[in-house]
Amino acid sequence: MPDSKYPYITSPEIRAYCELHSKKANQQLNNLEEKSAITEQTKMLSGSFLGRLLSMVSKMVSPKTILEIGTFTGYGTLCLAEGLQPGGTLITLEKNENLKEFYNEQLSSIGSDKTIIQKLGDAAEIIPSLNYTFDLVFMDAAKRQYRNYYDLLFDKLRPGGIIMADNVLWKGKVVTDDVDKLGKGLMLFNEYIVNDDRVDNILLPIDDGVNLIRKKLA
């Protein structure tokens, strides 16, 4: 939940009701959430509610190729992979090499019919080198880089392809005077998207805010 000096995106009661009436994460995801506590940065993790949205959208899109920008411990990766087609590939980018053990344990052997590849390094440097056309992208790394990520990957997104950009309400700070540099980066991104005629989008007040973007067919 956001700090109380910022507006609640959803009331705690509504959030609890929504969670109660939504399908739950599986045991592997619960274990990973628990295990991620050793990083002392568990706020980074998508968590069960957003994770179910990632899984749902991925199952709806049924992608052959997914790009995740910001792996952390792989929670979102596992959720996104639930909808990946057999034979499909998910590329996930992470700059923090200390998180590699999570990839080795959780992701590298996800299932022989699905390929998960982690690339370590700065996402903005890696994206131009990716020789894929993506059906689904989850943007969840450096908040001030969102617009840059978007521009770098746009031509690699297939027409009709989907981008989900996380944290775009920045704990509600985007509607206050108390918005920091990261929040300003997210506001610029949201502004850029709503004015981009090449896409449709809807900014959803789910969790910390998800900008759901679809590249138009023509």
Ligand X SMILES: C[S@@+](CC[C@H](N)C(=O)[O-])C[C@H]1O[C@@H](n2cnc3c(N)ncnc32)[C@H](O)[C@@H]1O
Positions that interact with ligand X (CB under 6 A): 44-46, 68, 70, 72, 75-76, 93-96, 122-123, 140-142
Q: Nearest residue by C-beta to ligand X?
A: 76
Closer to ligand X by Cβ: residue 72 or 170: 72
CB contact burial 94-123 (16+ within 10 A = b; e otherwise): bbeeebeebbeebbeebeeebbbebbeeeb
Min. distance of Cβ 86 from ligand X in angstroms? Answer: 23
Min. distance of Cβ 191 from ligand X in angstroms? Answer: 21
Distance CA 28, CA 11 (A): 29
Min. distance of Cβ 144 from ligand X in angstroms? Answer: 9
| Cβ atoms 174, 190 nearer than 8 A | yes
Min. distance of Cβ 198 from ligand X in angstroms? Answer: 24
Distance CA 65, CA 121 (A): 20
Closer to ligand X by Cβ: residue 43 or 218: 43
H/E element holding 9? none
Closer to ligand X by Cβ: residue 99 or 217: 99
Closer to ligand X by Cβ: residue 97 or 177: 97
| Cβ atoms 44, 72 nearer than 8 A | yes
